[in-house]
A and B are shown apart, each in its own frame.
Chain A
Amino acid sequence: MRSRRILASVMAASVMCGGSACSVISVGGPPEQVTPADAADSLSKPFQRMVATPPQKEWDAVRTVKGLQASMASFDDVEQKILREYLTPEAKRAWKPDGSVLVVEDNPTYQPVGDDIVQLEATQIAVIHDDGWYEPKREKLTLQFMVAKTPDGYRVARLRNGLMLLTAADVRRAYEPADIYFLGGSGSLDDPGALPVVDHVWLPINPTRSLAETIVDRLLEGPSESLEGAVSTAFEGISLDRITPGEESVVVYLEGRFKQDPPPAEALMKQLQWSLREVTKGRSIEVRLNGDTFYDSTPLVIGPKDNDGWPRPPESKVYFVQNGQLMWLGAKGAGLAVPGPVGQLGEEYKEPAIAPGPLAKGDPTEYVAALKSDGRSIWTNRLSPESQWQEAIKGTDLTPPSWNWNGTLWTVDRIDDHTSYVLRHDSANHEQPVTRVAAPELNGKRVTAFKVARDGTRVAAVVSDGGALSVMVGVIAGDRLDHFQTLLTTGETEEIKDLAWSDSEHLIALVGSSSGSTPTEIDISNGQLRQLAADKRITSISALNERLVAGTDGEDGGKVLELVQDKWVDTKVQAGTQSPTFPLD
C-alpha cells in the first residue's frame, strides 16, 4: 500500500516536471534586449573577386588574351603566378608589373590581326596609380598582344612591360573606393583651423585585412601623388597593427613612435575619425599605442560626433550686386544692403568675393574683395560701415578674386594669351607684397577663371591652350601650384563662363554653348561629369554644398536663380542684379 503511494507520487512529479516547468525551451519571462550576432563585425564589406584561370590548351589566341586580362584582375594572385603562365618564357622574363593599372570600359573588343597578334580596342577611362590615386584619363586605347602557339596552347609572346589592364567591372570587384583625410596646409598640425582635405583613393581589396584596416594602412602611408606636398598628416612614424570591432567602439592598435612630441592627438583624432566614419558607423574609436593606452593612464577615445564641426562651414548667405550696391539675399527674395562704403561698389568695382572672418586671430570681421572695373587691380575692404577700400593686387588683366580660408587672396594676372601669373595676397598682412606663385603646369596657357576650393588646398582653373577650354584642378603645394589634372575639355563651339566649388570634392563649371548654359558638376575624385539643369539665361554661378545659385543677364537687367530639385527657380530678388556669390566662392 505504502509503495503504491510512493509510486503514484513519483509519477505525479514526473508528469509535472515533464509537462510544464522543465520544458526544453522556457516560455514567457520579461522581454530581453536584442543583440545581433555580428553587430560588432561590420568593418568590412562583403566582396567577390575574380579567380584566375590558367590557360587551357584548347583555347584560341583571342580567348588566351582574354584569359590573360582576366588573370590581371585576380587580386589573390599577388605574385601573378597564373598571369605568368600565359606568357612565353621570354615574355615572362621581360614583364614586370609597375604598380599602376590602366582602367578601360567594359567589354573591350579583341580581334586577331594575322596569325600572331591579337588587338585590343577599348576606351581608357582612368589610371589607378600604385598609391591608390584614381586619375581620370579618358582616351582611346589600342593594344596589341603578340601570341605564339606552343605545345600547351597559345601563349602571349610579348606584353608591354608593366601593363596591368582592368575593366571597370574588374575595378569594382578588386578595389574599394575610400576617402582618406589629411590636413590642409603643410606643417600646421597644431592649427585648430586646419581643414580636412580628402584624398579619394581606390584601395585594392586585401582578403586578409578588413576594410577599416586597409583604410588606416593607406592613411598611414601618407597622401597620394595628387596631394603630395600640399597636405600634412599626424601619423608620421606610425604603423597599424590591427583594428578590432566592438559593439560600442572600434579599437585601433597603432605601433611606432610619433615624430612629434607630444603626439598631435587633435589632428590624429580628426584624420582617423573622418577617414573611418563610413565603416565605424556611429561607433566611437579608441586608439591604443604599442598595445597600451594612448596616454600614460587614460585612453584616447574619439566619440562618434566629436569632430562633426570640422570644418566650420561658411554661412550660407547669398551676396549679390544690385545697381552698384552690395546686398545679400534675405527671406522671400528681399535684398538687404551692406551699409557703408564697402557696400558702395558702384561702377568702380565688380565681381565681389566674400570671405568669412576671422582671417587672422582676433579679427572677427568679414572681408570683401572686388575687381576694379578695368580688371587691372583688386581691392579689399572689411565688411563694416566705416572701413575703406584698399588696393591689394595690381596687375594687367586679373581674374576675379578668390579667397582662401587662411585669409589669402588669389587671382591670376593674364599678361598675354600665353602668359598667366598666379598671384597671392595676404589680407591679414597688408604690408606684405603680393607673391607670385609658381604654377609650371599653367605655363604657356591663358587662365580665364581661377578658384580656390574651400578645403584651402585645391585650386581650379579654366585654361585656354589656343583652341578649346579646359578645366584643370591642382593643389597648393607650399609656394607652388602642382599636380594639375584636366577634368573637362570643351568642344570647339563651347565656352566655360564660370567656375564654382560646391564642396572640396565637387566643382561646377558653367559650360556655355549656342544652345544655352549648362552647369556641369565635376567629381574631382574620379573625373565623372554630371550635367545639371541647363538655362539659357545663366551667366554666372556660385555654389555652397547643396545650394547652387546663378546670375542671369537678360533684358530685365539680371536676376538670381536657385537650383531647387533640378529646376532653376527665381529667388524673387528685384531685377538688375549681378554676380550672386556665396562666401568663399
Chain B
Amino acid sequence: MPPSKTRIRRRTLRQILGGVRRRARRAASAVRRTWRRSLQLQVITSTLVISVTVVAVLGVFLVQEINTSVLNGRKLSAANEATADRVAIAAALDAEPIEPPKQGEGGPAVAEGPLDAAVNSIIGTGENGWRKRYQLLVLNPTEPGQSRATGSVLPTDVPEDLRNRLLLKRDKGVLNDPLQGVYRLKFAPSAEPQLTLVVGAFIDDGYEIYHFFPLTDEESLLSIVRQVVVVVGIGLVLLLGAIASLVTRQVVTPVRLARQAAERLASGRLDERLKVRGEDDLARLATSFNEMAANLALKIHQLEELSQVQRQFVSDVSHELRTPLTTVRMAADLLYDAREDFEPMAARSAELMQAQLERFESMLADLLEISRYDAGAATLDLDSTDVRDVVLRAVADSEALAERHGTRFELRLPSEPCMVEIDSRRVERILRNLLFNAIEHGEGREIVVTVGADRDSAAVAVRDHGVGLKPGEEQMVFDRFWRADPSRARTIGGTGLGLAISREDAMLHGGWLQAWGSPGEGSQFRLTLPRTAGAELKGSPLSLVPPEVEMRRTWRGHITPVLSPVVGEGVFHAE
C-alpha cells in the first residue's frame, strides 16, 4: 500500500526539521569550536558584553536624569503660568464690571463680560494675539453661560481622577490649591492622543480652571535624546569592540604566528623560526622560541646521528655475523646430519643447535630487513596480482603450523578476482605474519580470513578467537620485540619483528595495517591496500571490528552502532 500524502508530507517536514536541527547543531559546534580556539574572539566578546552592560546602565541613568530635568522644568513653568492665569481670572470675576460697552470692530457693540475679558487677556485675542502653547478651560457647572474654553479642549477632556481629587479638596473647603498630572489625551475624535500636562484648580463661586499644556515638544525632545543615546551607545560599543579587536590583534597575531611556527616545528620542520621585531615581551618570546627551536634541532640532529650510528651498527653487526654464522651453520649441518652416530646427548645437542641456528638466521634476516627500512632502502616490486592467490599461498604456508596447533582456517574470499598493484612477496609476508600471529594467539580456535574489495581498495582481515588484546595494546603490537605476556615463551619461533616489518610493508604500499582486539573476544588484523599503487586510501571495504561483535553489541544496546565502535575498544590504525 502506497504511503498517504499526509504521511509523505509529515515525513518531509520531519526531515526538513531534522536537517535544520543538524545544520544548527553543526553551526553551534562550529561557533563553539571557533570560540574555544580564538583568543581574540573571546577578548572581543568579553569587551562587548562588559561595554554593552556599562553603556546600557549609563544610558538608562542619563535618559532618566534628562527626562526628570526637562519634565520638572516644564511642570514648574506650567504651574507658574496656570497660577498667574488663575489669579487673573479670580481677580476679574471679583471685580465689578466698569467698562463701558465698546464698539466692536465692524461688529455688534459688545459689553465684554469680566470672564470674557480675563480669558481674552490671557489668550491675547486680537490682531497681535500671540498663540498660547496651552489650552484653557474654565468651567462653572452651577451657572449658565459661565464656562469658557480655548483651542479645541472640551469638558470631557478633563481627566476624571484629577477632577475627583479636586472635588474631594473642595468638599474639605480647600480652594485655590492646584493639582497636576500628565495624561495622554485625545482632543478630537480623529486626532492622535497627545501627551498633556493638566493643571486644575477650583476657585470661588464654583469655577473650575484647567490648563492643558502639551508635552509633545518635550516628548519629541526626549525621544530624540533617547535615540541619540542609543545610537551613541551602539557606536561606543562598536568602537570599543573595534579597539579590543585591534589591541588583541596586536597581541594575538604574534602568538598565532608562534603557534603556527611551533606546529611546523612539531611536524619536523626544524628550521622554522620566528621574526623578531622590537624589544617587547612578544619579541622576547620569539627570541626564546627561536633559541628553543635551535637547541631542539641540535639535540634532534645529535639523536638522529646517534640513531643512525646505532642502525648502522645493527646493520653492520648483522652483516658481519652472517659470515661466521654461515660457517657455523655448515659445521652445525654436518653435526646435525651425523647426529645419529652420536650419543643421544650429543645428538640432542646437535638438534638444539640446529634449531637455534635457524632462529638466529631468521632473526638476522629480520634485522637486516628492518635495517633496510630504517635506511630507506626498501623498494617495491609492483605487479598486478589477485589478492586471493596471495592469501591462498600464505594460508598454504601456514597450514603446517596450524595443524600443529589444531587450528582450522575459514576463508571468505570473493568469487571474482581481486586485482591489486602490490609487491606480492611483501604482502604474502604480511599475511604470513598475521596468520602465524593468529595461530600463536588463537588458542587452537578457528581463524577466519576474509578478503573484501571495492572500487578503490582491497582488504584482508585475519580474525582469531584467542585471548584478544587489552585496551592500548593495539598500538603496541606493531612495536619491535613487543610481547603481550613477557613471561610467555615464543612457541613458533617468532623473532618479535614480524608485525613491525608487516607494518613497514603496509606503509610502503600506501596502505593501512590496523588491529582490533578485546579481551576474551579475540582479535582481528586488517590490511587495507589501494588498488592502484600510490593512490590515497579513503576507506576500507572491511570493517575493523568484526561484524558479529558489532551486531552483538547493537543488540545489547550498549553503544550506538556504526559511529563509535573503536574508541577504547583496542583498535589501532597503522599506516
Contact = CB atoms under 8 A, between A and B. Distances in A.
- Are both chains from one complex? yes
Interface stretch (B62-70, B136-144, B267-275): B136-144
Nearest to B136: A48
Given A169-B110, A172-B108, A173-B116, A45 B145 contact: no
Nearest to A107: B111
Nearest to B119: A48
Nearest to A52: B147
Contacts of B106: 177, 200, 523, 525-526, 528
Interface in A70-93: 70-71, 73, 76
B188 interface: yes
Given A53-B140, A168-B108, A46 B147 contact: no
A53 B141 CA distance: 6
B66 to A, nearest CB: 13
B208 to A, nearest CB: 11
A194 interface: no
A49 B144 contact: no
B23 interface: no
Contact of B132 (A41, A46, A49): A46
Interface in B129-185: 129-132, 136-152, 154-155
Interface in B98-128: 101, 103-113, 116, 119-120, 123-127
Interface string A122-133: 000110000000
Given A38-B131, A53-B141, A56-B141, A48 B148 contact: yes
A169 B125 contact: no
A174 to B, nearest CB: 11
B150 A49 contact: yes
Interface stretch (A59-67, A391-399, A475-483): A59-67
A401 to B, nearest CB: 32
A116 interface: no
Contact of A106 (B101, B123, B137, B139): B101
Contacts of B145: 50, 53, 66-67, 69-70, 73
B144 A169 contact: no
B110 A168 contact: yes
A54 B116 CA distance: 20
Contact of A47 (B127, B144, B150): B150
A3 interface: no
A103 interface: yes
Q: How large is the interface on A (under 10, 10 to 19, 20 to 34, 35 or more residues)?
A: 35 or more
Nearest to A70: B145
A167 to B, nearest CB: 9
Q: How large is the interface on B (under 10, 10 to 19, 20 to 34, 35 or more residues)?
A: 35 or more
A48 B131 contact: no
A525 to B, nearest CB: 6
A9 interface: no
Interface in A486-539: 523, 525-526, 528
B152 A208 contact: yes
Contacts of B149: 48-49, 51, 76
Residue with the highest number of chain B CB atoms closer than 10 Å, among A66, A71, A134, A172: A172
Contacts of A54: 141
Nearest to A178: B106
Contacts of B129: 45-46
A207 interface: yes
A69 B148 CA distance: 15
A417 B43 CA distance: 113
A435 interface: no
Contact of A169 (B113, B146, B154): B113
A168 B102 CA distance: 11
Interface in A180-232: 200, 202, 207-208
A192 B136 CA distance: 48
Nearest to A202: B107
Contacts of B155: 51
A50 B147 contact: yes
A207 B191 CA distance: 13
Contact of B148 (A51, A64, A125): A51
A126 B108 contact: yes
A316 interface: no
A227 B383 CA distance: 123
B434 to A, nearest CB: 74
Nearest to B104: A172
A64 B143 CA distance: 10
Contacts of A171: 107-108
Contacts of B105: 177
A46 B124 contact: yes
A171 B110 CA distance: 9
A396 B147 CA distance: 63
A105 B125 CA distance: 21
Given A45-B125, A46-B132, A177-B105, A51 B110 contact: no
Contacts of B116: 48, 169, 173
A522 to B, nearest CB: 13
Contacts of B124: 46
Contacts of A202: 107
Contacts of A68: 144
A83 to B, nearest CB: 12
B147 to A, nearest CB: 4
B125 A46 contact: yes
Contacts of A175: 107
Given A46-B131, A56-B141, A67-B144, A125 B125 contact: no
B110 A172 contact: yes
Given A53-B140, A526-B106, A169 B148 contact: no
A46 to B, nearest CB: 4
Residue with the highest number of chain B CB atoms closer than 10 Å, among A41, A47, A202: A47
Residue with the highest number of chain B CB atoms closer than 10 Å, among A48, A50, A528: A48
Contacts of A66: 144-145
Nearest to A66: B144
A48 B120 contact: yes
A44 interface: yes
Contacts of B104: 168, 172
A526 B108 contact: yes
Nearest to A45: B129
Interface in B215-266: none
A204 to B, nearest CB: 14
A208 B188 contact: yes
A47 B119 CA distance: 9
A172 B150 CA distance: 14
Contacts of B126: 45
Contacts of B141: 53-54, 56
25 contacts: A44-B131, A45-B126, A45-B127, A46-B125, A47-B125, A48-B116, A48-B123, A48-B136, A48-B148, A49-B148, A49-B149, A51-B149, A51-B154, A53-B144, A53-B147, A59-B144, A63-B143, A67-B144, A76-B149, A105-B108, A106-B101, A106-B110, A125-B109, A168-B108, A526-B107
Interface of B: 101, 103-113, 116, 119-120, 123-127, 129-132, 136-152, 154-155, 188
Interface of A: 38, 41-42, 44-54, 56, 59, 63-64, 66-71, 73, 76, 103, 105-107, 125-126, 134, 168-169, 171-173, 175, 177, 200, 202, 207-208, 523, 525-526, 528
A-B CB proximity, top 4 nearest: A70-B145, A67-B144, A168-B108, A51-B147
Given A47-B150, A53-B140, 6 more contacts: A48-B148, A54-B141, A126-B108, A168-B107, A168-B109, A526-B107
